[in-house]
Amino acid sequence: AQSVTQPDIHITVSEGASLELRCNYSYGATPYLFWYVQSPGQGLQLLLKYFSGDTLVQGIKGFEAEFKRSQSSFNLRKPSVHWSDAAEYFCAVARYSGGGADGLTFGKGTHLIIQP
Amino acid sequence: NAGVTQTPKFQVLKTGQSMTLQCAQDMNHEYMSWYRQDPGMGLRLIHYSVGAGITDQGEVPNGYNVSRSTTEDFPLRLLSAAPSQTSVYFCASGGGWDTEAFFGQGTRLTVV
């Protein structure tokens, strides 16, 4: 079965500093990987996704992520964070059964705190 | 341009009561799904549907029923609410295979 691990429950970063959120996945074949962001009291918004091809993917709001098959990782990065980036971040991998896609498996999330 | 609409936004139920969480999408997606979000647990898949008339169980289906009579609507039913079902519920549209999943704003359910 697929699984996603986000090792950091909380991360605190100063405004203007760089950010890296870690994500490790377990999946036998080539995974479809996603990063979502959730602001307080809101639904989830897709930041970026990886399906195939270039292992460095660009997303919205200045985020990028790099797929590393050898490390089973899909870490999210941003060169300079803004106070508005404070939120919960979820990494997810697509689930597949014999009949096709059947949803997403999410990590437990990383809560990002931005210090002024 | 509504996207995914969930109602209600908040609900308090007594143990044993039943209710239906509504979800509607206007993006003509075949694939829809329901998740629950609990503190420290991320989101877990309850049920999903790959089209009208076709539903299947996800990771945590017990205590929930779904049906899909139209492409637009995918309601989630709690047959006999239990305190363990206190959670935030999210409906998603799209997300089958390599497509993006669009999430509703969520329903915060408390069972007392």
Q: What is the pLDDT of residues A59-83, one digit of tens each?
A: 999 999 999 999 999 999 999 999 9
CB proximity B62 to A under 8 Å: no
In the 3-class helix/strand/coil scheme, how is B42-90 assigned residue by residue? EEEEEEEEEECCEEEECCCCCCEEECCCCCCECCEEECCCCHHHCEEEE
CB proximity B33 to A under 8 Å: yes
What's the pLDDT score for residue B1? 58
What's the pLDDT score for residue A1? 75
Q: Which residues of B touch A42 (CB under 8 A)?
A: 105-106
User: Who wins on pLDDT, A52 or B84?
Assistant: B84
Q: Which residues of A touch B59 (CB under 8 A)?
A: 105
What's the pLDDT score for residue A31? 86
Distance from the Cα of A29 to chain B's closest Cα (Å) equals 14
At B8, the pLDDT band (50, 70, 90 cuts) reads: very high
Mean pLDDT of chain B: 93
Chain B interface test: which of A104, A108, A110 (most B C-beta within 10 Å): A104
Average pLDDT over residues B19-36: 95
Judged against a pLDDT cut of 90, whether residue B100 lies above it is answered with: no
What's the pLDDT score for residue B98? 60
Q: Which residues of B touch A105 (CB under 8 A)?
A: 45, 59
Contact B43 A44 (CB under 8 A): yes
What's the pLDDT score for residue B34? 97
What's the pLDDT score for residue A18? 98
| Contact partners, residue A28, CB within 8 Å, separation at least 6 | none
List phi, psi (to 5°) of A84. -70, -10
Residue ranges in chain A modelled with pLDDT below 70: 97-101
| Contact partners, residue A41, CB within 8 Å, separation at least 6 | none
Chain B interface test: which of A102, A105, A110 (most B C-beta within 10 Å): A102
